């Protein structure tokens, strides 16, 4: 990483002296809400090589596959215990007509992906292929319906096709296409980004469209849809307010999109070639999602005090420039240790608000943006797990665990909001706080405690003393994710540059857990 570090300022909040260990308390006697496993959700859009070449290669591919699904990718996703997967978009969803993706593959019409590079797709991956994949992975499907360019009839028929076990026209068509028993489909999104690529609507107009479409999305038999409204982007709190007021009684959840991104105009910076200021900028930007969630949550709490409507962050993650030499519009980017920190910090925030945050979906599962997995773009069958994948795998014990409040002292760095300071030549955009330490704790179903600790400092190791109130800790074990540099990444020739290793620098003494955490590290511990 370039050594161009410019110190902006450092703010000390309850900063201990150099001779003292950092103090922390895990309140094991103050259990919070359950951490819904759906917070570890994934997102698969028809974008670049996420679907074709990522999840799907077809039954006749020379790349090893299971019924057309890449074997190596499938097995890697299975190990993550994926709880839910969103499909087919994203912006693609409001251009997608589902009937083009059913029936014999050689009879399905091709389509042009107008949103992402103009790529021609053969529609070989459609409703059957997605829902069968979810069954094989043991995860809930999350379908995004087409409000932008679709019709009420089209969406209603799709729900019937997927979920009706009766003698209905769409159920008969499904059986004709080789699937006798209906699928279970819980999550259904009525449109995507209605404020932008999903129709450029106002919140008032979308509310009326939602009412219309929702009226005809009838539950089939025992399949009950969890109905999700197309919610806000980032800081658009008015969108949330209008939807909560106008359609709050007709929805089960409302979405929120938030990306760690320097902006939509001009370059976004590279995934692997960044200086120290840009490194801290990304972490401060990702942590700002806590303030964003709190403000959207406050609106929802006022209108829905009984907490019946879930907040779903169904698109989140980093967004950098595409890798040189890749197809424009396919959003293929590398994934460095920095991205792993964004994942860990974001998940720590989601855990805190799991009373309202019922699902999140990182963008995206394979080959796109902050992905779990990268596959080669030449069709040679190479695959690599990203640092972000390893965070999700290390964090799996948090799924369905009970959140435990935690107090942690930390040095806080003030980071300029401006990403390209060398171009803007000013620091007048204000600052964001970036705590160097972050942690999250939960009690698992077997009674143990899982504890995740992140030290994002580039150069300062820390020793933390955790007092575990209300828990008799006897043993501790864990793993650590770190690397020499924050811009280190895994590629096909070097797949294990950033990978978890056993961690043994945690000690228990009279109820106090002492953890030595190096700079640029993520540690996950199991305490029994």
Which residues are the active-site residues? 193, 315
66 Cβ partners below 8 Å, 6+ apart? 74, 136
State the DSSP string of 70-131: EHHHHHHHHHTT--EEEES-SGGGGG--GGGGSS-GGGSPPEE-TTTTT-EE---S-HHHHH
- Cα-to-chain-centroid distance, residue 382: 24
Burial bucket for residue 159 (CB in 10 Å: 0-12, 13-18, 19+): buried
Task: Report residue 184 as tokens.
Answer: 């279970």
Return the CA Rg of the chain.
23
Helix extents (H) in 177-236 = 203-215
Nearest 5°: the CA angle 176, 181, 187 is 110
**Angle (nearest 5°) at CA 420 between 418 and 426:** 60
- Give the integer Cα–Cα distance in Å for 373 and 334: 10
- In degrees rounded to 5, what are phi and psi of residue 349? -65, -45
Distances (CA, A) of 428 to 41, 237, 419: 37, 25, 12
514 by Cβ neighbours in 10 Å (0-12 / 13-18 / 19+) ranks as: middle
Backbone torsions φ then ψ of 190, nearest 5 degrees: -90, 85
Angle between the N-to-C axes of helices 276-287 and 289-303, in degrees from 0 to 180, rounded to the nearest 10: 10
Which residue bears the tokens 């251009």?
95
Name every residue whose Cβ is closer than 8 Å to that of residue 435 and which is 6 or more positions away in sequence.
13, 287, 410, 411, 412, 413
- Answer for the pair 398, 347: CB distance below 8 angstroms, yes or no: yes
Q: Which residue, 250, 137, 151, 238, is CA-closest to 191?
A: 151
Assign 3-state DSSP to the chain and report helix, strand, coil percentages, each to 5. Answer: 25, 30, 45
Distance in angstroms (rounded) separating the CA atoms of residues 284 and 342: 9
Q: Is the link from the previous residue into 364 a cis peptide, with omega within 30 of 0? A: yes
CA-CA distance, 323 to 372, in Å (whole number)?
16
The alpha carbon of 197 is separated from its chain's Cα centroid by a whole number of angstroms, namely: 20
């Amino acid at each position: 990483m370039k050594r161009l570090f410019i110190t902006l300022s450092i703010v000390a909040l309850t900063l201990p002296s150099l001779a003292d260990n950092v103090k922390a308390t895990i309140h094991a006697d103050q259990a919070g809400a359950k951490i819904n496993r759906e917070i570890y959700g994934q997102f698969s859009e028809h974008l670049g090589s996420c679907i074709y070449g990522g999840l799907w290669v077809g039954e006749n591919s020379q790349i090893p596959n299971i019924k057309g699904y890449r074997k190596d990718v499938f097995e890697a996703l299975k190990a993550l215990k994926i709880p839910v997967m969103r499909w087919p978009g994203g912006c693609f969803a409001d251009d997608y007509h589902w009937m083009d993706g059913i029936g014999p593959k050689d009879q399905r019409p091709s389509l042009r992906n107008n949103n992402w590079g103009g790529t021609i797709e053969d529609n070989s991956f459609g409703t059957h292929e997605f829902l069968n994949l979810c069954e094989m992975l043991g995860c809930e499907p999350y379908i995004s319906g087409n409000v932008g360019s679709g019709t009420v009839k089209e969406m209603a028929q799709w729900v019937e096709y997927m979920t009706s076990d009766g003698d209905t026209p769409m159920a008969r068509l499904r059986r004709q296409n080789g699937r006798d028993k209906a699928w279970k489909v819980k999550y259904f999104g009525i449109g995507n980004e209605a404020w932008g690529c999903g129709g450029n609507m106002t919140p008032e107009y979308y509310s009326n469209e939602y009412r219309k479409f929702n009226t005809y999305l009838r539950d089939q038999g025992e399949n009950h849809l969890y109905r999700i409204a197309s919610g806000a982007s980032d800081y658009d709190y008015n969108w949330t307010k209008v939807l909560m007021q106008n359609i709050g009684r007709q929805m089960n959840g409302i979405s929120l999109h938030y990306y760690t991104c320097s902006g939509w105009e001009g370059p976004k910076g590279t995934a692997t070639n960044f200086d120290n200021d840009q490194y801290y900028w990304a972490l401060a930007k990702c942590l700002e999602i806590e303030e964003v969630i709190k403000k959207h949550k406050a609106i929802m709490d006022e209108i829905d005090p009984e907490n019946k409507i879930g907040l779903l962050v169904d698109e989140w993650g980093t967004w950098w420039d595409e890798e040189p030499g890749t197809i424009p519009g396919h959003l293929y980017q590398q994934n460095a240790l920095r991205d792993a920190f964004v994942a860990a910090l974001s998940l720590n925030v989601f855990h805190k608000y799991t009373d309202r945050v019922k699902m999140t979906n990182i963008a995206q599962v394979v080959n796109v943006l902050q992905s779990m997995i990268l596959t080669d773009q030449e069709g040679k069958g190479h695959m690599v797990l990203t640092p972000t994948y390893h965070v999700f795998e290390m964090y799996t014990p948090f799924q369905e665990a009970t959140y435990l409040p935690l107090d942690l002292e930390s040095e806080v760095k003030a980071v300029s909001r401006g990403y390209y300071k060398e171009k803007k030549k000013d620091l007048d955009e204000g600052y964001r706080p970036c705590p160097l330490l972050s942690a999250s704790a939960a009690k698992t179903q077997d009674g143990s405690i899982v504890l995740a600790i992140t030290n994002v400092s580039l150069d300062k190791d820390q020793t933390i003393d955790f007092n575990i109130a209300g828990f008799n800790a006897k043993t501790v074990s864990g793993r650590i994710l770190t690397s020499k540099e924050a811009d280190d990444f895994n590629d096909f020739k070097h797949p294990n540059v950033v990978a978890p290793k056993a961690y043994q620098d945690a000690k228990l003494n009279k109820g106090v857990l002492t953890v030595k955490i190096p700079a640029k590290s993520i540690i996950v511990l199991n305490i029994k």
